[in-house]
Structures are given as C-alpha cells and as structure tokens.
Amino acid sequence: MVKEYKLEADISSKWIGIPVYRLWVNGELMCERSFWPNPDKHVIRETVIVGLDSGQHEMVLENVDASLGHSWIKQLLVKDMEAGTSALFTYGHSSSLEQHSPFATGESGISRWDLNINTPGD
C-alpha cells in the first residue's frame, strides 16, 4: 500500500564557490539547486512529498561540481502524512535509517540515506 510521506532534508555545505546539488528519491530527480542558505543558519531545508510503499527507499544528494564545494544531508525528518507521525534523523545518530558518510569518495560526492518504510497491513 502506497502512503504519502513528507521528507524534510536539512542540507549543509562547505563551499568555495556556489555549489549546486541534486536531490533524488528512488532514482527520481526531486530538485536541482544552487546552495544559497539563510546567512544566519547556513542550512537549506528541502521539502518533498512522495508516495512510498513498504520496503527500502533511497534518498540521495548529489554534488554536481565538487570543485565549488560539498553539500550533504545533515538532518532528515520523515513524516507519515496520513497518521501524522514523524521520525527525525540526524547525521551520526540513526535507528531505522541507514546513513552513508556525507563525505563520500569520488568526484560526484554523494550523500545517501536508505529509508526502510514499514506500513502496517503490508
């Protein structure tokens, strides 16, 4: 059964120029943006609403040009829109969410979070 979830990703960055990132959920491009944060917080919050069924899902933040800087998902809030429940995950503190280092090797610089969705009744 597919349910609607709101994913709020707080994205942080270290930059030389103005880095550009792409946010993907299950291989589908959700957005591509320049990192231009609120100067007081140095974080951008991306919000996407997606339909997910039970099972494994992947959220990926891809750095388009590593020479401009590196962005990563610092915190992720997953909210079940129907039940009104939510879970907050912070980099380095994980329970049902597997996190991969935001400082991944390779030119693209990938920050990947694997979500395991358990929907009652499935």
The pLDDT tens digits for 84-107 are 888 777 654 333 344 443 333 333
Winning range, highest mean pLDDT, from 22-26, 42-46, 64-68: 22-26
pLDDT category at 51 given cuts 50, 70, 90 is very high
Tell me how far apart the alpha carbons of residues 51 and 120 are, in angstroms, rounded to a whole number: 15
Tell me which fold the domain 3-117 belongs to: Lipoxygenase-1 (2.60.60)
Tell me how far apart the alpha carbons of residues 2 and 50 are, in angstroms, rounded to a whole number: 9
Quote the tokens at residue 72.
């990563």
**What's the pTM value of the predicted model, to 2 decimals?**
0.75
Region class of 66: left (phi > 0), else alpha (psi between -120 and 50), else beta: alpha
Tell me how far apart the alpha carbons of residues 30 and 119 are, in angstroms, rounded to a whole number: 23
Task: Write down the domain spans for the chain.
Answer: 3-117
| Amino acid letter, 70 | H
Tell me how far apart the alpha carbons of residues 40 and 84 are, in angstroms, rounded to a whole number: 30
Which pLDDT value is given to residue 40?
67
